[in-house]
Structure 1
Amino acid sequence: MHHTTQLPDHRSAAVRTGAATAAPPPARSGKRRRPTSTQWAAWAFLAPVTLYLALFYAYPLYRNLDLSLRDYTVRSFVQGDAPFTGLANYRKILDDPTFAPALLHTVVFTAVCLLFQYAVGLALAVFFHQNFRLSATLRALFLVPWLLPLIVSASTWSWMLNSDSGVVNALLSALGFDPVNWLTSPSWSLTSVTVANIWIGVPFNLVVLYSGLQSIPASLYEAAALDGANAWQRFWRITFPLLRPVSAITLLLGLVYTLKVFDIIWIMTKGGPADSSTTFATWSYQLGFGNLLPAFGPGAAVGNLLVVAALVFGLVYVRAQRKQALS
């Protein structure tokens, strides 16, 4: 009697395996997946920030844009029936004889303030980075101008630069020089407000740049010193390149702040005399609120030019940072 050994059917097993593999996935349920508790928590934390940005940033920007595109008067501002004029307000400020001087003053004021605030702040940051005795105390004293309210700082500078009773002219007279009309002379008014703003902005640059210096490893300076590098070479080859990211954000924040400086100029000179210290910030306020018949539309148009300028420089910074991250 012959016994037949039955071998396993590998082909049928493969077929069965293939059939199992090719089996269609289970049909998706028509119900959407409900948010998890983590997602609800994320939305809960995001909601206050979103509400704050919408109320205090997005809506004011929208209202300012609407003001610049309509012919608003005091009556229409209250009743809300101002006619739409398109870009007429922008053409009006471009044709205004104040536009060119205000643009020049804004560029000069911003550029000079940024240059000196950054240079002096960087020099002080490197100086205090030596961690000598009383370094922390002196660094804290340098923060006083930044901590004072702007109205106090501007009033103090107005008193110091007063033509008759200011301490600056008193010092010049003691040294044998003629007094200078710092705030009432068209030749000196812009210089005066620029110096005051530089004094106020230096502490901010000092704090940010000093924190950037703290992140540079000391071993790099030790290795450079062993290689024979002097103090200037260590600064130029190590400190300055490694501070570029911190320097970029410092200059950007300083630019945005300086473009919109109003308090200091208005308290010290009110943009005068003869518009010699008028910038876009003071001109926008003067158009909208400084006259008996306010020009809300042109004033908002000037303000929007400042917003666009700050936005352009912000986008340039973001683009530069993205290129640096990819390289």
Structure 2
Amino acid sequence: MTTTPAPVRTRAGDRAAPAAQPRQSRRRPNDNSQWVAWAFVTPLVLYLLIFYAFPLYRNIELSLHDYTPRAFVRGNAQFVGFQNYVEIFGSSSFAKAATNTALFTIGSIAFQYAAGLALAVFFRANFKLSAVLRGLFLIPWLLPMIVSASAWAWMFNSDNGIINAALRVVGLDPVNWLTSPDVALTSVIIANIWLGIPFNLVILYSGLQNIPADYYEAASLDGANAWQQFWRLTFPLLKPVSAITLLLGLIYTLKVVDLIWIMTAGGPGDTSTTFATWSYREAFGAGNPDFSPAAAVGNLLIVVALVFGLIYLQMQRKLEKQ
């Protein structure tokens, strides 16, 4: 038999609501959400450990030992500490490789970004065949690197290249694009710019699509011309997209090996040698592979990329506070 709780009287003649019944303890259902979360995270963690953390550890370990081919097979390399780093910093190739890396990276990124931004602004206006032309501009990005590098090596060929053939038609002397110390680095920069423009175009064009058209209509009503709209509206609003585009371009350009190796192999001499090609040459491009200095140069590139990554994060924090 169920009894109803007596009402609580607060004042004479006033009836209050019945007293609340005691809360019954509810049994929590079996919650496996934490295990489900770990099930999703575990493959990613394993992937990062196997393909990122372990190779990085291995590269550091290689740079701290003296790994000759025999020691690499036997696994008994001598520990030499930072001797490999001292050797690469004291090498006659270091200054040239550092200068070439800076020129190759800055020159490539600057022209890739400028050309990509110009094309993105151009294609922002909807016109006939716009989609077709954008697709054609993606061709350099879709081609395998060995195909693109071989094509540019043929075009820059001193004897049979199409560029020298065009120079002869207009009455100019041919240029030894890939064998002259004066222009070899310029040649690979030109080829790398051509390869990187589609990437900048795609990212910047996507960023432009996120800028509301109302902003441009308001600017037009205020009397702003096309240049003023770009400089005071488009460019500032593209800063976050531009930052990540430049960072990704920097990381990609720092590690370019195949393009330079196919076109000039870092030559003539060291005139087109960068840190990436120097590392590759030490490990695989010489008759007697020297893995430890190659790993040290590779770690130097990782540090440079990490520094710029931290700079990017700092810039992002400042942009978020504005």
TM-score by length of 2: 0.90
Deviation (angstroms), 1:311: 0.5
Could you say what secondary structure the match of 1:283 adopts? Answer: helix
Distance 1:276 1:226, change over 3 A: same
Q: Deviations over 1:302-323 (max 9, x none)?
A: 0000000000100111121122
* Aligned pair partner of 1:118 in 110, 113, 116: 113
Change beyond 3 A, Cα 1:35–1:240: farther
Closer/same/farther in 2, CA of residues 76 and 34 from structure 1, 3 Å limit: farther
Q: Secondary structure at the match of 1:181?
A: coil
> Which of the numbers 288, 300, 314 marks the counterpart of 1:293?
288
> Counterpart in 1 of 2:31?
36
Match in the other structure for 1:283: 278
CA distance in 2, matches of 1:208, 1:152: 24
C-alpha distance in 1, partners of 2:146/2:30? 50
1:252 alignment partner in structure 2: 247
Once the two structures are TM-superposed, the CA of residue 292 in structure 1 deviates from its matched residue by: 2.1
What code does the residue aligned with 1:142 have?
F
Relative to structure 1, is the Cα distance of residues 241 and 35 closer, same or farther in structure 2, using a 3 angstrom cutoff?
farther
The unaligned stretches of length 5 or more in structure 2 are 1-9, 11-27
The amino acid across from 2:227 in the alignment is W
Selected match of 2:84 from 86, 89, 94:
89
TM-score normalised by length of structure 1: 0.89
Q: 2:96 aligns with which of 89, 101, 108?
A: 101
Deviation of 1:37 after TM superposition, in Å, equals 1.8
Match of 1:72 in 2: 67
Q: Where in structure 2 are the equivalents of 1:155-304 lying within 5 Å?
A: 155-304=150-299
How far apart are residue 34 of structure 1 and its match? Answer: 11
Letter in 2 for 1:158: A
- Which amino acid letter does the alignment assign opposite residue 216 of structure 2? Y
Q: Quick one: which amino acid aligns to residue 182 of structure 1?
A: W
1:307 to 296, 302, 305: 302
Residue type at the aligned position of 2:88: I
What is the RMSD of the two structures over their aligned residues, measured on CA atoms? 1.5
What corresponds to 1:17 in structure 2?
Answer: none
Q: Distance in 1 between matches of 2:62 and 2:219?
A: 58
For structure 1, the residue ranges without an aligned partner over 5 or more in a row are: 1-7, 9-32
Give the deviation of 1:96 after TM superposition.
0.7
Query: Could you tell me the percent identity over the aligned residues?
Result: 66
Asked if 1:150 is matched to 2:145, the reply is yes
3-state SS of the aligned residue for 1:98? helix
